[in-house]
Structure 1
C-alpha cells in the first residue's frame, strides 16, 4: 500500500526515545520530512544523523521543552521557516507519575501540562497549517483508560482523549483527522524503569498480556504511519489500543 507520505512534513514530539523515535524513523522511511522535538539536543542530533544516513534527508532538530508555554510557537515557527508547511503532528511525548508518588497539587498540574495541555497547545498552534494542507493529520498518544487507582496521568490522558474526539469533529470539514493511540506495555526507557527484566516483569506479562510479551516501539509507529497516511482520511475521532490484549482483570 502506498501511504502517500512522500514529502509530507511531520512534527514528532518525544522524538529521542521509544515510540517517538521509532515514529520519526518510520515516517522518514516512508518519505516524509520530519521535525524532531525533545529536550535532549545531543540525542536529537544523533537521530537526525541516523535519518540522514538512512534516507538522505536531514531532519529538522527543534530542541525545546514542550512544557514551556512558548514551545508550540517556537516549534511551528521553526518548521514553517524550514519547510513552509505542516501536514502531520504526532504528540508522542508523555509520562506518568511514579508508582506510589504523592499526588500533590504540583504533580497534578505537571501531569496535565505534560499529557494534555502541551499536546493541545501544539495542535492548536499547528491548525492553520494542517487545514491549509488539505490533508492534515494529528495523532495524540494517550493511555489505557482502565483505572485501577487514582492517577493524575490517567486523568490527563482522559482529558486529551475527550478533547481529541471533540476536535476531530470541528476540523473534519478542513480534511484534518485527529486520532489517539493508547499503547500498553511497549519496550521503552519508561517501561523498563517501571518493569525491568526479572520476575516482576515476567509475572506481569503472564497475568496481564495475552500476547505473551511487551510490544515494540516499531509496532506502535506502524499504526501512526497508517493513521497519518492518505488512505486513512476517513478515520478520525477514535482511539486505538496497541497493547497485545493487555487487561487488569484478575
Structure 2
C-alpha cells in the first residue's frame, strides 16, 4: 500500500533511541522529511546520521528539553524556518515515574510536565499551521492506564487520551486527525534497562501476560504510526489504539 507520505514533513520527539528512533526511520523510509528532537544531542546526531546513511535526507536535529517553558515555540521556529510547514507531529517523549511513597508536589509536576503538558503545548503550537494547510496528523505515544501502584507517569496518559479526544473534535473539520497509541512491552531503553532488565524477567512477564508470546520490537509500533500519519488514515481520529501483543486485559 502506498501511504502517500512522500514529501510530508514530520516532527518526532524523543527520537534519539528506542521507539522514537524507529518511528523516525520508518517515516523516512516512507519519504517524509524529518525533524527529530531529544535532549541528548550526541545520540540524536547519531540517529540522524543513520537515517542519512540509508539514503534518506538527513533530518533536522533539534536538541531541546521539551519541558522547558519556551520549548514549543523554539522547536516550531526551527521547523518552520527549515521546512515552512509541518504535516505530522509524533509526541513520543515521556517515561514512567515510579514513586517510593505518594510522590511530592515537585515529582508530580515534573511527571505531568513531561508526559502531558509538553506534548500538548507542541500540538497547540502547530495546530494553526496544520489548519492553514488543511492537513495534519497528531500522534501521541502514551502508556497504560491500569495502575498497579503510584506512578507519576500513568495519570498523564489518561489526561492525554481525554485531551486528544477533545482536540480531535475541534480540528476534524480542518483535515487534522489526533490519535493516541499506548505501547505495551516493546524492546526499548526503558523496558530493557529499567523495567525488565534480564532475559529471565522478560520470559516470566511474557509467560504471564502476553498472548503473542514475545516482547515486541519498536518497528511493531512504528508501522501503526506510519499508517496513522498517512492521508489514507483520514477517518481514524480521536482513538486510543494499543500495541501490546494482546497483553491488555480490557475489551475496550
Q: Same fold (TM over 0.5)?
A: yes
2: CA distance between counterparts of 1:210 and 1:103? 34
8 A contact 2:98–2:151 mirrored in 1:
no
Q: Secondary structure at the match of 2:242?
A: strand
Distance 1:56 1:198, change over 3 A: closer
1: CA distance between counterparts of 2:154 and 2:200? 26
Gaps of 5+ in 1: none
Matching residue of 1:180: 180
Gaps of 5+ in 2: none
Matching residue of 1:196: 197
Matching residue of 2:221: 220
Write the deviation string for residues 92-149 of structure 1: whole angstroms up to 9, x where unpaired. 1110113646511111111100110001000000111111232200000111222222
1: CA distance between counterparts of 2:100 and 2:245? 26
2: CA distance between counterparts of 1:65 and 1:137? 22
| Mapping of residues 1-250 of structure 1, within 5 Å | 1-98=1-98, 100=100, 103-192=103-192, 193-247=194-248
8 A contact 1:143–1:184 mirrored in 2:
yes
What number of residue pairs does the alignment pair up? 249
Write the deviation string for residues 142-169 of structure 1: whole angstroms up to 9, x where unpaired. 1122222232211111101100000000
Distance 1:45 1:33, change over 3 A: same
Q: Secondary structure at the match of 1:90?
A: strand
2: CA distance between counterparts of 1:120 and 1:157? 12
Q: Secondary structure at the match of 1:37?
A: strand
1: CA distance between counterparts of 2:27 and 2:248? 30
8 A contact 1:135–1:233 mirrored in 2:
no
2: CA distance between counterparts of 1:166 and 1:246? 27
Q: Secondary structure at the match of 1:183?
A: coil
